[in-house]
């Protein structure tokens, strides 16, 4: 264990921990944009700078390992001035369109601009403009809002193992690019979207469906494969506006394309909305009472005619435990046969 002092408070961390991690452990707030707890440190945004006694210049706390006896100061007028300058530089090249941005209210950059009171900007000047829209159906890439924090690049490489994007060009021309600037063609897991601190990366299907302040967040479990990732359905009215996942669950907030972007079947116009009974080869709408009574009468009649083992029940790996339990109970105890199965084998 290493002992160090941060803002006059002593703390202990394991060897290899960074100064930023030590500060977080103490509950000391240091602003960051590029740092993400699940990704390797980058040291790109320079917001997390701190003063260390005996070191003549500020250090990025996210890339500085904690050392024995270190004395760290996280906030001084000089540090705050530098942070403000960094923010001013970022904002000087960022569209002022929080009014229409999907991310407003849930944007780290907006939050920092708010807390540092960034109304004026000494660096107003040329801005990067990117007219071309990426044609992929899942992820909206608005490069004008990109602050080049590199989180998306890192998550794609380190978590997803795909490396579909990287930094390209230098200086003012620097941007996050796909190979040869083609349209994005990747696994579309949207991990990049989930870690983007600004509105540069959002879901194409999210547009105008409701900002974070308007949605109701419902924690549930994904309905696709057997991995069972934790999902948060962001609901506005009776519609799912988007799907996110919490970082503090076992799946650490990571999802796949189906879980993150495959939810629109819920509101499909093809959904069945009323019970149907087939009459003369055609489906006719029926009430619940009529349909349930007819179904049970016919099932009991066939049971009476051929015996219970002429009845079969196919339950579902898509339904809940409770539904499966009750289904097999009905087949076994209600109809008197063990002919119940589901598609586990398929």
Partner 1 sequence: MASLAAILGSGSMTNSIPEIEGMEVIFIIGSNTKESHPVIANRMIKAYRNGARIILADPRGIPMARFAEVHLQLRPGTDLALLNGIARVIVKEGLKNTEFIRDNTQKFEEWEKSLEPFTPEYVESVTGVPAGLIVKAARLYGGSRKAGLFYTMGITQHTHGTDNVSAVANLALVTGNIGRESTGINPLRGQNNVQGACDSGALPNVYPGYQKVNAPENREKFEKAWGPALPDKPGLTATEMFNGSIKALYIMGENPVLTDANQGHVVHALEGMEFIVVQDIFMTETAKLADVVLPAACFAEKEGTFTNTERRVQLVRKAVNPPGEAREDLSILMGIAGRIGLPASYCGAEDVFAEMGSLWQGVQGITYGRLRRGGIQWPCPSKDHPGTRYLYKTGFPVGRPPFTVVPFTPPAELPDAQYPYLLTTGRNLFQYHSGSMTRRVRQIEEHAGRAYAEISPADAAALGVKEGDVISITSRRGTIDISARVTGGIRKGIVFIPMHYAEAAANVITNNALDPVAKIPEFKACAARIEKKTA
CB burial of 154-174 (b: ≥16 within 10 Å; e: otherwise) equals bbbbebbeeebbeeeeeeeee
CB burial of 32-67 (b: ≥16 within 10 Å; e: otherwise) equals bbbbbeebebbbbbbbbbbbbeeeeebbbbbbbebe
Integer Rg of the chain from CA? 28
Q: Which stretch binds partner 1 (CB under 8 A): 20-28, 83-91, 93-101, 249-257?
A: 249-257
Say how far apart CA 140 and CA 135 lie, in whole Å: 9
Least separation in angstroms between CB 290 and partner 1: 10
Q: Which H or E run contains 28?
A: none
Identified binder of partner 1 from the candidate list 223, 242, 244, 304, rule CB under 8 A: 223
Least separation in angstroms between CB 309 and partner 1: 7
Identified binder of partner 1 from the candidate list 45, 48, 210, 261, rule CB under 8 A: 261
Q: Which is nearer to partner 1, 146 or 215 (CB)?
A: 215
Identified binder of partner 1 from the candidate list 77, 169, 173, 265, rule CB under 8 A: 265
Q: Which stretch binds partner 1 (CB under 8 A): 89-97, 114-122, 124-132, 248-256?
A: 248-256
Identified binder of partner 1 from the candidate list 68, 96, 120, 270, rule CB under 8 A: 270
Q: Which stretch binds partner 1 (CB under 8 A): 73-81, 96-104, 145-153, 222-230?
A: 222-230
Least separation in angstroms between CB 335 and partner 1: 7
317 near partner 1 (CB under 8 A): yes
Q: How many chain residues are in contact with partner 1, going by CB under 8 A?
A: 111
Say how far apart CA 90 and CA 304 lie, in whole Å: 77
Identified binder of partner 1 from the candidate list 30, 91, 148, 229, rule CB under 8 A: 229
312 near partner 1 (CB under 8 A): yes
State which of positions 88-147 bind partner 1 (CB under 8 A): 136-138
Strand partners, 218: 233
48 near partner 1 (CB under 8 A): no
Say how far apart CA 77 and CA 82 lie, in whole Å: 9
Say how far apart CA 245 and CA 190 lie, in whole Å: 11
Say how far apart CA 142 and CA 144 lie, in whole Å: 6
């Amino acid at each position: 264990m290493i002992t160090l002092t941060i803002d006059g408070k002593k703390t202990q961390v394991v060897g290899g921990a960074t100064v930023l991690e030590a500060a977080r452990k103490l509950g000391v707030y240091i602003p960051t944009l590029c740092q993400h707890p699940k990704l390797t440190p980058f040291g790109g945004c320079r917001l997390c700078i701190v003063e260390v006694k005996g070191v003549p210049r500020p250090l990025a706390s996210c890339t500085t390992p904690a050392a024995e006896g270190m004395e760290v100061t996280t906030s001084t007028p000089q540090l705050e001035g530098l942070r403000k300058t960094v923010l001013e530089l970022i904002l000087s090249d960022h569209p002022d369109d929080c009014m229409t941005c999907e991310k407003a209210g849930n944007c780290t950059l907006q939050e920092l601009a708010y807390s540092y009171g960034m109304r004026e900007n000494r660096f107003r000047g040329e801005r990067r403009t990117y007219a071309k829209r990426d044609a992929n159906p899942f992820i909206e890439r608005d490069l004008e809002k990109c602050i080049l924090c590199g989180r998306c690049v890192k998550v794609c490489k380190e978590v997803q193992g795909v490396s579909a994007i990287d930094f390209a060009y230098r200086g003012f021309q620097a941007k996050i690019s796909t190979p040869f600037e083609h349209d994005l063609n990747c696994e579309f897991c949207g991990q990049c979207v989930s870690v983007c601190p600004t509105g540069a990366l959002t879901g194409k299907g999210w547009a105008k469906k409701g900002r974070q302040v308007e949605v109701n967040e419902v924690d549930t479990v994904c309905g696709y494969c057997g991995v069972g990732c934790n999902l948060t359905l962001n609901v506005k009215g009776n519609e799912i506006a988007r799907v996110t996942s919490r970082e503090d669950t076992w799946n650490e907030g990571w999802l796949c394309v189906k879980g993150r972007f495959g939810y629109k079947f819920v509101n499909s116009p093809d959904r069945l909305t009323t019970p149907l009974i087939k009459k003369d080869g055609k489906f006719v709408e029926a009430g619940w009472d009529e349909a349930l009574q007819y179904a049970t009468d016919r099932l009991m009649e066939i049971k009476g005619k051929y015996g219970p083992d002429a009845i079969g029940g196919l339950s579902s790996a898509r339904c809940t435990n409770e539904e499966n339990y009750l289904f097999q109970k009905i087949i076994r105890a209600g109809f008197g046969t063990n002919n119940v199965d589901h598609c586990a084998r398929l």
